[in-house]
Amino acid sequence: MRRRSIIFPIIITFVRMSGNRTDFLRDKKILLVDDEPEVLDMIESLLRDEGFSSVTRATTTKESLEQCRLHQPDLAILDVMLPDGDGFSLFKEIRKSLDFPILFLTARDQPDDLLEGLGLGADDYMVKPFLPRELILRIYAILRRSYKADDPLIVLNGCTVDVGRAEAYRNGEIFPLTAKEVKILITLYNSANRIVTIDSICNSVWGDNRYGYENSLMAHICRIREKIEENASSPSVLITVKGLGYKLNISQ
């Protein structure tokens, strides 16, 4: 393995590592739309407890469009049934001028509704009632996916990965990453702390034709571990879930 020792990037790395890397996600502006004030109160308190500082709310379609124009949110959580219209039409209306991720939150659980919501291009769809933890995790996942360019650094336990430069920094050393390794890490990071199946990793790295890549994936994972783990033989960051897939542990 090729190792370079350059002082300058290490300094940058240590400076950047000092903060919690999910902070920039918590600065994102979130718009909540629901016709029930109790639900709005609950989700808002949930988000504020989680550290999201910029949360705005609306109870009607009209109000939502107003808020969109005024605040330009980074993420919207839309209820499907609103007093002056439905969430799907609101979605289309918003998409005419703005492009930020949208999650549908609805009391309708029919498969048709789900397909309609996702078919429009929504980023996610949750049925009420939901576990607050799950909503928070999905919000993080959407934000991470949508705003990864804002911060190309993935901060792991004892190691930082600069996705833009395709390098991993650990113990004062720089480990260059291949394009495939970066792709694998991004895929895992987008669903951090969740198991990602072998199939979906292969799918996002090699495309649809994923047969025969399992062994190749395993080899890539081994090489990534040598670069990012303190002890590659007993990994603590990039975990194997036998037969299923892999999980990238990050602290939130």
Applying the rule CB under 8 A, the residues between 199 and 228 that interact with other proteins are 199-200, 208, 211
By beta-carbon proximity to other proteins, the closer residue of 115 and 219 is 115
Which amino acid does the sequence have at 193? N
241 binds other proteins (CB under 8 A): yes
The nearest distance, CB 221 to other proteins, in angstroms, is 16
Q: Which of the ranges 15-23, 129-137, 155-163, 218-226 carries the binding residues for other proteins, by CB under 8 A? A: 129-137
Per CB under 8 A, 118 contacts other proteins: no
**95 counts as binding other proteins under rule CB under 8 A:** no
The binder of other proteins chosen from 3, 111, 149, 171 (CB under 8 A): 111
- Per CB under 8 A, the list member of 132, 230, 232, 250 interacting with other proteins is 132
Shortest Å distance, C-beta 77 to other proteins: 12
Nearer to other proteins, 68 or 139 (CB): 139
Of these, 30, 31, 33, 43, which contacts other proteins (CB under 8 A)? 43
